[in-house]
Amino acid sequence: MVLLGLVATVAHLLIVQAFRRASAVILAPFQYLEIMAAVFWGWLVFGDWPEAVTWLGIAIIVAAGLYVFHRERHRALALAEASEPPG
């Protein structure tokens, strides 16, 4: 249990450092990998496969993240175009 606590503490500290060094837009896709890894390990270790409602929740989370990514990208492009000098 102590080892598990230490590993979890180090992992969370690394996550904090990642968010200090990079924007959330860059790091967000890794959270989707985390969801898929949890599904994989849950199936491999416990033989547990998510139900349809869980898959729906995963789809909503991923769709929302993709929407935010798309919106922010377009917003950044529009801002960059507006700040370019005419010519």
Pair 61, 35: CB distance under 8 Å: yes
Is 57 a domain residue?
A: yes
Tokens of 15: 């996550």
Given a cut of 80, whether residue 42 has pLDDT beyond it is: yes
Which residue would you say has higher pLDDT here, 67 or 30?
67
Q: Which helix (H) or strand (E) holds 55?
A: helix 52-83
pLDDT tens digit sequence for 19-33? 999 888 788 778 788
Q: 44 lies in which domain range?
A: 24-87
pTM recorded for the entire structure: 0.63
pLDDT of res. 48: 95
- Dihedral sign, CA of 80, 26, 36, 61? negative
Is 82 a domain residue?
A: yes
Tally of domains within the chain: 1
Is 75 a domain residue?
A: yes
User: Residue 87's pLDDT band (boundaries 50, 70, 90)?
Assistant: low
